[in-house]
Structure 1
Amino acid sequence: MTNTLLSLGYGYSADHFAQTLRRKGWRIIGTTRSPEKAEHMRASGIEPRLWGKDDLTKDIAAASHILTSIKPEGGEDPVLAAYGKQLQSARPEWTGYLSTIGVYGNHDGAWVDEDSRAEIPTKRASERLAAEQAWQALTPAAHVFRLGGIYGPGRGPLAKIRSGKAHRIIKPGQVFSRIHLEDITGALLASIAAPNPGRVYNLVDDEPAPPQDVLAYAADLLGSEMPPEVPFDEAELRPMARAFYADNKRVRNARLRGELGYALRYPGFREGLKACLAADNL
């Protein structure tokens, strides 16, 4: 019997994961709000569904595996709001919820793990935590994956340097945790192979690093002029980007390595960016 993945939300990470499974012979169903994107999905072997227009009841019942990456909207998870009853009665072998390390909030650069909590959670962090818990309560097959900053071919520091608009924003002591696209897929595959329902995993690499250092390394790889430095207080940032800088922490991945036994392909940003450059040049 062919395994079927229902991908609720079909963004950058979900696409890479789904295409990996498709090449293994899986049937893939994915949702999008865009008719244009639906056609691109269809052309790449994915069965598209238009979110809010197509009924997913039969797809939920048919799915052996479910991945959801749709963030909360208006204080609730839109998937659970629309299909909670259907999901509750479904019996997938595995369900994955893609969350964010933003749930930990700010820890002034200290290390956190899956048991850490934000001392003063933001509204966004509280909504994410509530969504995680709602999925775990709804289906016994649920796993939660908290992702760091995602980068990979066509997305991340190299793309920023190539745009010519990159700036090295300097906020002393600030670090971010990241994860390469291929390691997201690798971790999800490891979880499917050894499921542990109810468990939460941080998907981050081994090297939390200042964002300006990562951009500097990307510029060096490309042989480009070094982006100018801008003090954080003087930077022109959108509200979402500024909110990211309010959280400063180092995120551990010991559970990913120990319990899932997953060995990162790109344990640091240098290895990851070199691989991105090689992929971009293919």
Structure 2
Amino acid sequence: MRRLLVLGFGYTARRFVERHGGMFETVSVTARTAEKIEHLKSEGYDAYRLVTGIPLSPELVVAAKAATHVLVSVPPSEDGDPAFTALGHTLGESIDLVWVGYLSTTGVYGDHGGRWIDEETETAPKSARSRRRLDAEEEWRTLAAPGRAVQIFRLSGIYGPGNSVFDGLREGKARRLHKPDQVFNRIHVDDIAAVLKAAIEHPEAGPVFNLGDDEPVPQHEVVAYAAGLLGMEPSPVVPFDEAQMSEMAKSFWAENKRIRNTRVRTELGVDLLYPTYRAGLKAILEEEAAGRQPV
């Protein structure tokens, strides 16, 4: 019997459960706010609050002790990983736990000047945010034991329905920025879900997987293509040096690398559903159109 506990029920984790929750006999989830907990319960989820400074409910502790699989999608803070701090000891002592999946970021590799990298590339995070991610990876790895796998998934820029360049274009906020030789990988949320499903079936694989598409490209190309799909005229390209942006946004642009995803194919047998941003963006519009059709 598989029992899933999702720590941090955000965009990616929800999509995984919506797509593959049938793999599990039970699914329990956590969120930070009382309002979101009530909303999730109204949707039929067994939902519990997990936030620093708030005592764990006895029901959440019971769910953690009973879980066979744990998916961690909680970002670490300056004070460490709140999910590991709250439940790491309980999960470590569990006799039922067989799999932990931790959603991390390719930011842990730092900047590589646009070169191709893979899971064997040395980590060298530049930002404090990515350093915290790497620290959290190491914490969760300590739970690995005979009969219990811990797998790390380093994600490129996540996009999908309701979380894509289309949203920015429709709101008039999507700018076309250009920084010479700068490229980014992306990963469709459904490809993440498919990789997680395969990883659960292959706990001996990894233990680290890079998730990015096959075609890292400049940001302005993606915006222009998406605008064309919407029948919009793309905005003029703005030189990066002239763009006003937040410090967090600048930190993303400070790193330049091309992500190899070979391991998800060779060890998990997963061929990406959307190996390019073009395939992924078209699929989003198709899903939106299907959702608008009358039942």
TM-score where L is the length of structure 1:
0.95
Residue 133 of structure 1 is matched in structure 2 by 138
- Contact 2:205/2:268, CA 8 A, preserved across alignment: no
1:6 counterpart letter in structure 2: L
Runs (4 or more) in structure 1 with deviation over 4 Å come to none
- Contact 1:7/1:31, CA 8 A, preserved across alignment: yes
The alpha-carbon distance between structure 1 residues 72 and 25, as it changes in their structure 2 partners (threshold 3 A), is: closer
C-alpha separation in 1, matches of 2:37 and 2:12: 16
Greater CA drift, 170-179 or 228-237: 228-237
Once the 2 structures are TM-superposed, how far is the Cα of residue 126 of structure 1 from its aligned partner?
A: 2.2
Number of aligned pairs?
Answer: 281
Residue 161 of structure 2 is matched in structure 1 by 153
Aligned-residue CA RMSD (Å): 1.6
- Contact 1:169/1:235, CA 8 A, preserved across alignment: yes
Residue 33 of structure 1 is matched in structure 2 by 32
- Residues 1-282 of structure 1 mapped to structure 2, 5 A cutoff: 1=1, 3-24=2-23, 26-52=25-51, 53=54, 54-55=56-57, 56-90=60-94, 91-119=96-124, 121-140=126-145, 141-196=149-204, 199-282=207-290
Greater CA drift, 132-141 or 232-241: 132-141
Greater CA drift, 81-90 or 33-42: 33-42
- Contact 1:143/1:196, CA 8 A, preserved across alignment: no
State the secondary structure of the residue aligned to 2:187: strand
Unaligned runs of 5+ in 1: none
Once the 2 structures are TM-superposed, how far is the Cα of residue 46 of structure 1 from its aligned partner?
A: 1.6
- Contact 1:16/1:185, CA 8 A, preserved across alignment: yes
Unaligned runs of 5+ in 2: 291-295
**Identical residues among aligned pairs (%):** 45
C-alpha separation in 1, matches of 2:118 and 2:70: 25
Greater CA drift, 244-253 or 89-98: 89-98
The alpha-carbon distance between structure 1 residues 272 and 64, as it changes in their structure 2 partners (threshold 3 A), is: same
State the secondary structure of the residue aligned to 1:209: coil
TM-score where L is the length of structure 2:
0.91
